[in-house]
A and B are shown apart, each in its own frame.
Chain A
Amino acid sequence: MAYILEAENLTKHYGRVKALTNFSLTVEPGSICGILGPNGSGKTTCLGIMLGAIKADNGSYEWFGKPASHHTRRRRIGALLESPNFYPHLSGVENLRVVAAIKNRGSKNIHTALQTTGLTSRRNSLYRTYSLGMKQRLAIASTLIVNPEALVLDEPTNGLDPQGIAEIRTLITEIGREGKTIILASHLLDEVEKVCTHVVILKAGDTIASGRVSDILGKDNQVEVASENMEALESAAKEISGLQSCKKEKDKLVLKFHTNVNTAELNGYFFDKGITLSHLVTKRKSLENLFLELTSSHA
């Protein structure tokens, strides 16, 4: 089996609104793929199409190497799309029973799913009495009751408090470590950065970047340096080969390089020039910066 999911040229327009244009994605087994974009960029549309809820205007997709039109393949996926959708008049555990019955599984995983998501004590309360965070946890519990081969999570930390967010991220990373494939949509850049191995960036339905997180992040390297004598530092820095840009920021100098930079060599270089560094930090470009860069250049 080559790919868990293969989508090609998915397109969906609502009248004049181009929700998604020519979206393609391949997800390898065991990877955690992030779909990143601001609100309204087409994340939910693309997941909705791949989960069968939304009909694409164009394009095709396959789950587990076979055309996914057949609904039974969806039973092997744990999915959470947009907001948690449950029956308000049923308790948490009854809602999970509905999911288990649809997926044609027994209810033996319900207990562990509730435990993993910390809902055991409120399992018999009606869903409508749940807080937003609990609703979100129940949605995640529902994705776990089948021991899924792939997880599709749309904004899984929505509405959770910082502790809940941390717990869910740990959970996702743990599930990923078990070798399960995860597709995660988020508008939170640092969520994708912390959890994902691959990333696709969407803007207004268009794919503007895709690849390994490390590749996309590692395209250029940044180093922050500072010294007593900033003028000497700046003139020395400008002579370094492979320097892309040199920018003054407050009391620091931000150096961008085309290739990976060795901080020990850099330190030695300045030392040979008689400059003692008081500050030397490599700065991995945050996805946030990257994101703003990419989206603004396409504006």
Chain B
Amino acid sequence: MRRLLRIEFIKVRSYGAFWIVLAIYALIFIMVTSTLRMIESSLSVSAVTFFSFPDVWHHLAYIASFMNILPAILIIMLITNEYTFKTFRQNLIDGLSREEIVYSKFILIGAVSVFLIGLIFLWGLVRGLIAGHFDDFGDVYKKIYFLLRLFVQMSGYMSVAALFAFILKRSAISILLYLVYVVAFERILRLRLPDEIDRFFPMKNFGGLIPDPGTIALQVPSDGSTLSPDAAIALAFAYILVCLGGCYLLVNRSDL
């Protein structure tokens, strides 16, 4: 696994587009969380207590949950590039197995998630300490599990993106169809279905991992339209595994 991570790192280390997308993500995230009006319009939370520990982790994770499409597009680019440049074929000839080709991309997904969430953690920590709205130092880490849920959510978005990329092999069409699915198709499908069924849909399920902090604050009782957090995490992991398996079947059956 370390070897695969190292291979992926050499591939992206001096790939400008990769770092530009990550920089855009960081920039948008910092801008949004620094603009009081945007916070108050998107969350039902007072901007004054936004960076208060321990709720800051929930707030930041919720803001980040709207931005998962960006790293997902990045993953599509990185996978379809390998088809365009025929480098998957070369990797295979050089001695990577078909399993390793798929695993290395999922390891990359994990690494990108860890990197972005690390940035979010640092940002929350710095701003939280500056704001100083906490009584006990133990409060700082109390709701940090929201960042773990964000990890599952972000990796889930990227795993679905990887499946689109491995199926379609070309970047423009993969990105387009992925966006159509995430933004429109699943929602249209869900319109016709009752909540008991549509809460199992991947995007809806990923969304349910980090609920709106406002509704929690208002103690809105669960209406059954989303799964319980534990069930949602388990289902999200299942979806990631299904994507991994799907990608593996695709790569294993075809000529590269």
Contacts and interface: CB of A to CB of B under 8 A. Distances in A.
B11 A71 contact: no
Contacts of B100: 71
B94 A89 contact: no
Contacts of B17: 89
B85 A74 contact: no
Given A53-B255, A94-B14, A101 B7 contact: yes
A71 B94 CA distance: 9
A55 B89 CA distance: 12
B16 interface: yes
A86 B85 CA distance: 7
B95 interface: yes
Given A83-B86, A102-B7, A94 B94 contact: no
A102 B94 contact: yes
B8 to A, nearest CB: 9
Main secondary structure of the interface of B (DSSP, over half): helix
Interface residues of A, number: 29
A287 B7 CA distance: 43
B137 interface: no
Given A48-B255, A98-B10, A98-B11, A87 B85 contact: yes
A145 B212 CA distance: 54
Contacts of A85: 85-87, 89-90
Contact of B93 (A79, A94, A97): A79
A58 interface: no
B97 A71 contact: yes
Contact of B95 (A86, A88, A91, A103): A103
B91 interface: yes
Given A81-B89, A102-B95, 19 more contacts: A53-B92, A53-B255, A53-B256, A54-B256, A74-B92, A75-B94, A81-B93, A85-B85, A87-B85, A89-B15, A94-B10, A97-B10, A101-B6, A101-B10, A102-B7, A102-B91, A102-B94, A104-B3, A142-B94
Interface of A: 48, 51-55, 71-72, 74-75, 79, 81, 83, 85-91, 94, 97-99, 101-104, 142
21 contacts: A51-B92, A51-B93, A53-B93, A54-B255, A54-B256, A55-B254, A71-B92, A71-B97, A71-B98, A72-B95, A74-B95, A75-B95, A85-B90, A86-B85, A89-B15, A89-B17, A90-B14, A94-B13, A98-B11, A102-B91, A104-B3
